[in-house]
């Protein structure tokens, strides 16, 4: 199997001053990419900020003979995101890869969570991915080439106590991927999501040292490289952790036609509940239109008797 290389490619990695983002940036550089190391340098809850972490990663890349520049913009700031894109284009004239990785936590039970806790987490995780992708999108369209990865979470896919803000933002990213995989197809722009389990600042207090040792962030990065390579998939959610990789999908049961008009009552739905929720008929839809087709297929079956 041929080596995965990124020679002559330009990559932006947000939140790359440490943890997962640093590992992604270093591996891209090892494989030939020129890398923009973006990191605000904020604390885990989003306060403060310094570009020192980004500069340190740039030094690591340069020490291995690679090319990189640091950027200290906040991914929530329109002017900062524009500067990140402008700096990249002024330096190298193109953007091939964008890995949206920046994140913070404001974990609290929903009763104790403030609107500031909600807004800030949504701004960083959801809007902080939207904004760089939006800023790079037309550049990638003009190049007829783009590879994008957003960072979702098992909290978004499945839930987790105390993370309503984080989970909502992370599942929102899956919705972004589901549409951009369609819009980007004609211009060779592929977009995927990684769902990592890794020992980072955001998880170090949640697990034992023995477990954390198996969850090194560098154990996620090889999967991400496959999401941004030349023949990458698109629209995929890749779960990754401890050297294990799997694919996650949103699925829907075949369902049942219950009735229309006066025949359609709450009791009629209840009578067919077992058929409606029959998991043996689950399937994955590739776009919203297929969801509608499934509904009308059930209507057509009922009409035939």
Per-residue pLDDT of the chain (305 residues; tens, 9 = 90+): 899 999 999 999 999 999 999 999 999 999 999 999 999 875 554 444 457 999 999 999 999 999 999 999 999 999 999 999 999 999 999 999 999 999 999 999 999 999 999 999 999 999 999 999 999 999 999 999 999 999 999 999 999 999 999 999 999 999 999 999 999 999 999 999 999 988 765 556 666 787 778 899 999 999 999 999 999 999 999 999 999 999 999 999 999 999 999 999 999 999 999 999 999 999 999 999 999 999 999 999 999 97
**Which of 13, 190, 8, 11 has its CA nearest to residue 95?**
11
- Buried-exposed string 210-248: b where 16+ CB fall within 10 A, e elsewhere: eebeebbbebbbebbbbbbbeebebbbbbbbbeeeeeeb
CA distance 135 to 99: 13
Q: Which helix (H) or strand (E) holds 149?
A: strand 146-151
Q: What residues does each domain of the chain span?
A: 10-248, 261-304
Query: From CA 140, how far away is CA 217, in angstroms rounded?
Result: 28
Q: How far apart are the first and last CA of the chain?
A: 53
Residues marked as catalytic: 166
Which CATH code fits 10-248? 3.40.50.720
C-alpha 264/C-alpha 248 separation (Å) is 34
Specify the DSSP class assigned to residue 71: E
Torsion angles phi and psi, residue 272, rounded to 5: -105, 15
Residue 7: closest CA among 34, 28, 36, 32: 32
């Amino acid at each position: 199997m041929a080596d995965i290389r990124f020679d002559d490619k330009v990559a932006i990695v947000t939140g790359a001053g440490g943890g997962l983002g640093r590992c992604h940036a270093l591996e891209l550089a090892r494989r030939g990419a020129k890398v923009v190391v973006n990191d605000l340098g904020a604390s885990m809850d989003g306060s403060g900020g310094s570009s020192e972490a980004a500069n340190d990663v740039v030094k690591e890349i340069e020490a291995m003979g690679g090319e990189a520049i640091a950027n200290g913009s906040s991914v929530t700031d329109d002017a900062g995101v524009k500067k990140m894109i402008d700096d990249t284009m002024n330096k190298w004239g193109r953007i091939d890869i964008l890995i949206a990785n920046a994140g913070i936590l404001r974990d609290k039970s929903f009763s104790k969570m403030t609107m500031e806790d909600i807004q800030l987490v949504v701004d960083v995780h959801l809007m902080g991915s939207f904004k760089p992708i939006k800023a790079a999108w037309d550049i990638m369209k003009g190049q007829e080439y783009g590879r994008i990865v957003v960072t979702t979470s098992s909290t978004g896919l499945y839930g987790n106590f105390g993370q309503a803000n984080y989970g909502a933002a992370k599942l929102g990213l899956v919705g972004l991927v589901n549409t951009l995989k369609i819009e980007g197809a004609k211009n060779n722009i592929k977009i995927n999501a990684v769902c990592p389990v890794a020992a980072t600042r955001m998880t170090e207090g949640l697990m034992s040292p023995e477990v954390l040792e198996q969850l090194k962030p560098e154990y996620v990065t090889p999967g991400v490289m496959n999401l941004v390579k030349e023949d990458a998939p698109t629209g995929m959610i890749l779960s990754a952790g401890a050297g294990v990789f799997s694919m996650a999908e949103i699925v829907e049961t075949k369902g049942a036609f219950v009735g229309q008009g006066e025949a359609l009552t709450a009791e009629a739905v209840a009578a067919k509940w077992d058929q409606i929720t029959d998991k043996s008929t689950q399937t994955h839809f590739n776009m919203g239109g297929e969801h509608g087709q499934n509904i009308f297929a059930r209507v057509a079956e009922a009409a035939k008797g």
